[in-house]
């Protein structure tokens, strides 16, 4: 099996996703929110890239989650904090979500055979599920506004390490991710705290969110986009 890394959604046109599994990752914070939400009992999450489409879904029984530039958008129920998704009141709820980078990455992965949601929170479960699917893999990093970022690239390296032995690659982005992960894995937070994304989010006072998003294997679930375009818990 082959594994590649698409370092930003703006590079997705260079990748042929047909017949492959896309593992979409946006560590800070969209795919960490989705993992936490599905693990804690949210029944389905509908990712949309357009703010007004997301607003419209609120009249169809969806909880509306919207974030732009890190902040909750006025008029929506929640923003982009994993703790909002983990609220006991969210059990059984359906969420419609739009974020600056994460939902764009999901949208751009639509031609893949399967789209699964990765984060440090469910790293080992994603690796097990990917191995079980037995398809070629493209790790699609959400990055930041078209640019690659540190934390999503680190996740790519971590997943590649978990899949070693089953997968081969001639992708330099993957090699770069693996080298970076190897250097950072003993103190992941120390490096991520130096990232541009953390610096941008600091003004929002969300240190707790960042800490949670760095936790490895807190959950054993894999959220997956189903035929209706909703993210639900994969059964495997």
Q: Catalog residues that contact ligand L3UKIRZJ under the rule CB under 6 A.
A: 26, 28-30, 67, 69-70, 80, 99-102, 142, 144, 197, 200-201
Minimum distance from residue 164 beta carbon to ligand L3UKIRZJ (Å): 28
Pick the closer one to ligand L3UKIRZJ by CB: 19 or 75: 75
CA atoms within 13 A on the CB side of 39: 22
Nearest to 150 by CA among 201, 104, 110, 103: 201
Pick the closer one to ligand L3UKIRZJ by CB: 136 or 151: 151
Pick the closer one to ligand L3UKIRZJ by CB: 86 or 135: 86
Give me the DSSP letters along 186-209.
Answer: GGHHHHHTTSHHHHHHHTTT-HHH
Minimum distance from residue 198 beta carbon to ligand L3UKIRZJ (Å): 10
Minimum distance from residue 78 beta carbon to ligand L3UKIRZJ (Å): 11
Q: Where do the H-state alpha helices sit in the chain? A: 30-40, 51-57, 82-85, 102-107, 123-133, 150-163, 172-184, 188-192, 196-202, 207-213
Distance (Å, rounded) from C-alpha 215 to C-alpha 86?
15
Pick the closer one to ligand L3UKIRZJ by CB: 37 or 70: 70
Dihedral angle sign, alpha carbons of residues 74, 80, 81, 87: positive
- Give yes or no for a contact between 28 and 144, defined as CB atoms under 8 angstroms apart: no
Minimum distance from residue 99 beta carbon to ligand L3UKIRZJ (Å): 3
Pick the closer one to ligand L3UKIRZJ by CB: 173 or 195: 195
Minimum distance from residue 106 beta carbon to ligand L3UKIRZJ (Å): 10
């Amino acid at each position: 099996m082959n594994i590649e890394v698409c370092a930003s959604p703006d590079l997705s046109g260079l990748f042929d996703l047909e017949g492959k599994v896309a593992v979409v990752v946006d560590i800070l914070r969209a795919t960490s929110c989705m993992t936490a939400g599905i693990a804690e009992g949210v029944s389905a999450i509908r990712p949309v890239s357009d703010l007004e489409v997301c607003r419209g879904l609120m009249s169809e029984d969806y909880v509306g989650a919207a974030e732009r530039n890190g902040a909750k958008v006025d008029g929506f129920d929640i923003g982009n904090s994993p703790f909002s998704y983990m609220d006991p009141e969210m059990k059984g709820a359906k969420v419609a979500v739009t974020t600056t980078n994460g939902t764009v990455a999901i949208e751009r992965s639509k031609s893949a055979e399967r789209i699964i949601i990765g984060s440090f929170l469910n790293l080992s479960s994603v690796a097990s599920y990917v191995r079980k699917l037995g398809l070629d893999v493209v790790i699609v990093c959400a990055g930041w506004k078209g640019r690659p970022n540190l934390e999503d690239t680190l996740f790519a390296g971590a997943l590649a390490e978990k899949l070693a032995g089953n997968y081969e690659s001639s992708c330099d982005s993957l090699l770069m991710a693996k080298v970076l992960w190897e250097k950072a894995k003993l103190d992941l937070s120390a490096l991520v705290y130096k990232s541009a994304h953390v610096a941008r989010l600091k003004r929002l006072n969300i240190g707790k969110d960042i800490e949670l998003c760095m936790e490895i294997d807190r959950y054993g679930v894999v959220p997956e986009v189903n035929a209706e375009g909703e993210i639900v818990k994969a059964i495997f």
